[in-house]
């Protein structure tokens, strides 16, 4: 089994939010695959682009909204 995630594993909204936040993308890329998968699973529950951006920001700001 491949240990690396592919683009098809990442929901479109999450991928877009990560692409717009390079700092968060770097943090996501350094996470262990199991932690990335958990982050992705939680992203499936998010329904708005604003909430998705806020969720991605938790990677760099400890969960606090700026």
pLDDT band at 66 (very low <50, low <70, confident <90, very high): very low
d(CA 27, CA 31): 6
Domain ranges of the chain: 10-61
Render pLDDT for 15-63 as a digit per residue (tens, 0 to 9).
999 999 999 999 999 999 999 999 999 999 999 999 999 999 999 987 5
User: Counting Cβ atoms within 10 Å, is residue 32 exposed (0-12), middle (13-18) or buried (19+)?
Assistant: exposed
Q: Does residue 2 have a pLDDT over 80?
A: no
What pTM, to 2 d.p., does this model score? 0.81
| Per-residue pLDDT, 56 | 98
The stretches of the chain forming alpha helices (DSSP H) are: 12-19, 22-30, 33-43, 49-61
d(CA 47, CA 21): 19
């Amino acid at each position: 089994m491949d240990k690396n995630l592919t683009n098809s594993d990442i929901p479109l909204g999450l991928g877009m939010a990560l692409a717009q936040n390079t700092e968060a993308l770097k943090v996501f890329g350094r996470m262990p695959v199991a932690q990335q998968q958990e982050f992705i699973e939680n992203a499936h529950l998010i329904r708005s682009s604003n909430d998705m951006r806020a969720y991605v920001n938790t990677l760099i700001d400890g969960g606090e909204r700026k």
